[in-house]
Amino acid sequence: MNNLLLQALECKPLPRPPIWLMRQAGRYLESYRNLRKKHSFHTLISTPELAYEITMMPIEMFHLDAAILFSDILFLTEIFGFKISFQENKGMQLIPPTSEQDMKDQHVFSTVSKTISLLKKNLTVPLIGFCGGPYTVGKYMNCLTAEWLDKITNLTIEYLKMQIVSGVDVIQIFDSWAGYLSVEEFNNLAFPYLKRILIALEPLGIPVILFCRGSCRFVSQLSSLLPRAISFDWERPLLELRQEVPSTIAVQGNLDPLILSGPLEVLQVHVEELLTSMKDQKGFIFNLGHGVLPHTPVENVQWLVHRVKALNSLSRQ
């Protein structure tokens, strides 16, 4: 198995950083768009064979160093009776439950567990499982009381334990919107719940990556949770953040997805800058600061992965 990602998460010295991309399987891939013409987004995430096929698409095309389970952070809310609906013109909508009965719907766990088993049989790179941060999930559900955040946290812990038992190698928590809270709100609505998740997972020994947009505002709080990595967006230079984060915690990021979607010459300048600044830094995982945008040219992704991988041969010269 290519375990570059696992080694980077242990902050070991490496010839090059591992590379994977948030939303590496999605609308910028023609093969994904073709499947989406035939099936709803909900069908794609709730059919293990389809979720398997989509997870593998970017791995087969670009030979990235990690796969991320194809699913969605809002899938879990179906257990509370919510239904996710995604329409081209309306975007993502969560439809609240109409009756108590819906609460017993447990197909989410069995679907995700089956998808993970299929993936683990065939992957030669680590598999990243994930969940949403309770604050971000609660925000989409419009349920931000302490009681709801508690319920979401408890369910999230069970959900992650199931993913780990099923075989994922790494967990990433997407608390996308927590980084834009005020300090006081962050301390009340996000931090305590993230803390409970990290403490609950600790005995299982699986590395956890924490992602929020705006995570550079909460470097010390996020570091105090002792994740194995913090994922940053492009608001601040990654080298500066590397120097602020304790050296035992890896940093992930932080190319602007808009730059990946733009002209190749501009992309090249930014990538060289990032790679040069992070050269010789331990605990660096190459990624975007947020997900791949739908209009991103496949050639740009191809170039990016080749460029990062070329550091391997350069380091031997």
Return residues touching ligand CP3 (CB under 6 A): 22-27, 36, 41, 68, 70-74, 86, 91-92, 130, 174, 176, 291
What is the rounded distance in angstroms from the CA atom of residue 193 to the CA atom of residue 175? 11
Give me the amino acid identity at 218.
F
Cα–Cα distance measured from residue 49 to residue 210, given in angstroms and rounded to the nearest whole number? 28
C-alpha span between 105 and 115 (Å, rounded) = 18
Of 283 and 289, nearer to ligand CP3 (C-beta) is 289
Please identify, using beta-carbon distances, which residue of 73 and 271 lies nearer to ligand CP3.
73
Compute the least distance from the CB of residue 247 to ligand CP3, in Å.
27
Would you give the distance in Å from CA 139 to the centre of its chain? Answer: 18
Between 136 and 245, CB nearer to ligand CP3: 136
Q: Which residues of 65-81 are buried (b: 16+ CB within 10 A; e: fewer)?
A: bbbbbbbbbbbbbbbbb
Nearest approach, Cβ of 86 to ligand CP3 (angstroms)? 5
> In whole angstroms, what is the distance from residue 268 CA to residue 18 CA?
18
Give least dist CB 276 to ligand CP3, A. Answer: 27
Residue 42 CB, shortest distance to ligand CP3, in Å, is 10
Name the closest residue to ligand CP3 (Cβ).
176
Cβ closest to ligand CP3, residue 86 vs residue 148 = 86
Shortest gap between Cβ of 76 and ligand CP3 (angstroms)? 11
Least distance from ligand CP3 to the Cβ atom of residue 121, Å: 19
Spatial contact of 91 and 82, defined as CB atoms under 8 Å apart: no
Cβ proximity to ligand CP3: between 130 and 282 the closer is 130
Helix ranges (DSSP H) in the chain: 4-9, 30-38, 41-46, 48-62, 107-122, 134-141, 146-166, 183-185, 191-201, 219-224, 238-244, 257-260, 264-278, 298-314
We find the least distance from the C-beta atom of residue 151 to ligand CP3, in angstroms, to be 19
In this complex, which beta carbon is closest to ligand CP3, that of residue 16 or of residue 36? 36
Looking at the Cβ atoms of 57 and 250, the one nearer to ligand CP3 is 57
Structure tokens, 289: 């600061």
* Residues β-bridged to residue 231: 211, 252
Q: How far apart are CA 68 and CA 287, in angstroms?
A: 13
